[in-house]
Amino acid sequence: MTSRVLSRARLGTVLTFALAGMLCGIWVSRTPALAARFGLSDGSVGIAILVWGIGAIIAMQGLRGVIARAGSHAVLRIAAPLTALSLALIGLAPNWPLLLAAVAVFGMTFGLTDIGMNAQGSAVERSYGRPVMNAMHAGWSAGAISGGLLGVLSASAGLSFGQTLFCGGLLALPATLAIGRCYIPDGPVSAATGDRRTRLPLVVYIVGGLAFAAFMMEGSIADWSGLYLSRELGAGEAIGALGYPMFEGAMLAGRLVGDRLRSRVGTRRLMTYAGLGTAGAVAVVVLAPTAEVALAGFVLTGLAICTVIPTTISVAGTIAPGRSAGAVAQVGAMGYGGLVLGPVVIGFLANVSSLRVGLGVAAVLGLLIAAGARYVPMRRLVAIAGEREHEREAVSLAA
Q: Please write the tens of the pLDDT for every residue from 81-126.
A: 999 999 999 999 988 899 999 999 999 999 999 989 998 998 898 8
Region 194-201 average pLDDT: 63
Where are the domains positioned within the chain?
1-184, 201-380
174: exposed, middle or buried (Cβ count in 10 Å: 0-12, 13-18, 19+): exposed
State the pLDDT at residue 198: 62
Can you tell me the distance from the alpha carbon of 28 to that of 115, in angstroms, rounded to the nearest whole number? Answer: 20
Can you tell me the distance from the alpha carbon of 105 to that of 87, in angstroms, rounded to the nearest whole number? Answer: 9
Q: Average pLDDT of the chain?
A: 84
At what angle are helices 202-227 and 267-286 packed, to 10 degrees? Answer: 20
Closest by CA to 338, choosing from 312, 377, 374, 301, is 312
State the pLDDT at residue 110: 93
- For residues 55 and 108, the answer to whether their CB atoms sit within 8 Å is yes
- Per-residue pLDDT at 391 exceeds 60: no
- For residues 317 and 52, the answer to whether their CB atoms sit within 8 Å is no
**pLDDT, tens digit (0-9, with 9 covering 90-100), for 42-70:** 667 778 877 888 888 888 877 777 777 88
Question: Which is higher by pLDDT, 90 or 190?
Answer: 90
State the pLDDT at residue 278: 94
- Signed CA dihedral, 232, 235, 240, 243: sign only: negative
Closest by CA to 173, choosing from 256, 86, 98, is 86
- Per-residue pLDDT at 396 exceeds 70: no
Can you tell me the distance from the alpha carbon of 238 to that of 295, in angstroms, rounded to the nearest whole number? Answer: 13
Largest CA distance in the chain: 59
State the pLDDT at residue 177: 94
217: exposed, middle or buried (Cβ count in 10 Å: 0-12, 13-18, 19+): buried
State the pLDDT at residue 311: 93
- For residues 20 and 239, the answer to whether their CB atoms sit within 8 Å is no
CATH ID of 1-184, from 3.50.50.60, 1.20.1250.20, 1.20.1440.230, 3.30.70.360 = 1.20.1250.20
At what angle are helices 361-372 and 267-286 packed, to 10 degrees? Answer: 170
Q: Is 64 helix (H, G, I), strand (E, B) or coil?
A: helix
Can you tell me the distance from the alpha carbon of 27 to that of 51, in angstroms, rounded to the nearest whole number? Answer: 14
Contacts with 120 (C-beta within 8 Å, 6 or more apart), sequence order: 9, 13, 16, 72, 73, 76, 183, 184, 186
**Would you say the CATH fold of 201-380 matches that of 1-184?**
yes
Q: How confident is the model at residue 309 (pLDDT cuts 50, 70, 90)?
A: very high
Contacts with 260 (C-beta within 8 Å, 6 or more apart), sequence order: none
State the pLDDT at residue 362: 87
Superfamily of chain region 201-380:
MFS general substrate transporter like domains (1.20.1250.20)
Can you tell me the distance from the alpha carbon of 116 to that of 352, in angstroms, rounded to the nearest whole number? Answer: 38
**Is the pTM of the predicted complex or chain greater than 0.85?**
no
Q: How confident is the model at residue 383 (pLDDT cuts 50, 70, 90)?
A: very low
- For residues 115 and 329, the answer to whether their CB atoms sit within 8 Å is yes
